[in-house]
Amino acid sequence: MGVLAFNKRLTRIRQKMEENNIDALLVTHRPNVYYLSGFTGTSGFLLLTFGEALLYTDFRYIQQAREEAPAFEIVQVNSTADYAAAAQHISHRGLKNIALEEAHVSLRDFLRFKNSYHGNGSIVPLFNFIEEMRAIKDNEEVKLITEAARIADEAFQSILPLLKPGMSELDLAGELEYRLRKGGSEKLPFDIIVASGERSALPHGVASPRIIREGEPVTVDFGAVYGGYCSDMTRTFIFGTPSPKQQEIYDTVLQGQEMALSSIKPGQKASDADAVVRGYFQQLGYGEFFGHGLGHGVGLEVHELPTLSPKGESLLKEEMVFTLEPGIYIEGWGGVRIEDMVVMRSDGVQNLTKTGKSFIIG
């Protein structure tokens, strides 16, 4: 990511601060710190005002911070979360509204900040302030995400010949993790989900020692990280011949996902996108078995804005990257989920996940 990209973001966040009457912004959530500054260290936070851009970090990261965040003045502090230093710094400047990220500041850090702030301004909680900006990706981000999706596709395809009944979920996850790392994934964005048989009814069943048998649905949900950006995909498959009910449920989920892929357009409300698939499942009597949202944004974090669910208020805009992952889960029977990652373009979504969707393998 070039320096220019970070400078642009700094300009945009200051515009946003101005629009919201915010005079100082303390940025403590690591993905947000990286997004605005380029700093990748695991300890550090930002203080932004209209005149200053400060990056506070400790001895271990001073040199790294200078190199990675040239637009910021680097301030050395002793402890990981010395928000007191930032509070004192802005105490007597006549600033009115001092904003903190409410979802990312512990009570201890909040009290530390508050007790060290001696000005007359008010402390304002902000929710999703930087995250809203992050939801719309620039070209460089889309390239990194596309590469993360490609690594995941390739890793999955490369393990297909190894899959056979009798292997455990952990074994499958291990092979996949190895191929992801060998293919260039910097780390795993989340623990690989492998849920077979009845366990496939667990939308987030991480791999267990359970042995996968013929005739059981297997859900595999995983991703890669490239250049700090995540990908996320799910495939469900079965060894041998599915029962008519298994086939029917698989086809229903696939048709639901295809409806989403072909119908979602920029400007659409996230909840309306969700409703297309939810309504279809309801018609077929499966509504109650689709217990999560249709999708979520992906970027520096594997779950970010926008939220495609019945409560999703935001509009789906061009250059947003999100998943489309309908699923049907029936307790005691099993489940099916199919997840692709897409980028919104002017005429609809472009699919970044290329792996085929055949139910039967082996």
Q: Which residues bind Zn ion (CB under 5 A)?
A: 221, 232, 234, 323, 339
| CA pair distance 262, 269, nearest whole angstrom | 15
For Zn ion, give the closer residue by CB, 131 or 221. 221
Residue 312 neighbours by CB under 8 Å, 6+ apart: 269, 270, 271, 273, 274, 293, 306
| CA pair distance 331, 289, nearest whole angstrom | 9
| CA pair distance 206, 336, nearest whole angstrom | 15
Closest approach of Cβ 208 to Zn ion, in Å?
Answer: 17
For Zn ion, give the closer residue by CB, 200 or 234. 234
Closest approach of Cβ 232 to Zn ion, in Å?
Answer: 4
DSSP for residue 176 = H
Closest approach of Cβ 355 to Zn ion, in Å?
Answer: 13
Which two tokens mark 142? 């889309």
Closest approach of Cβ 130 to Zn ion, in Å?
Answer: 21
CB 130 within 8 A of CB 27: yes
Closest approach of Cβ 190 to Zn ion, in Å?
Answer: 8
Cis status of the peptide bond prior to 306, with omega within 30 of 0: yes
Pick from 3, 77, 81: nearest CA to 38: 3
| CA pair distance 43, 74, nearest whole angstrom | 13
For Zn ion, give the closer residue by CB, 77 or 341. 341
For Zn ion, give the closer residue by CB, 82 or 339. 339
For Zn ion, give the closer residue by CB, 33 or 308. 308
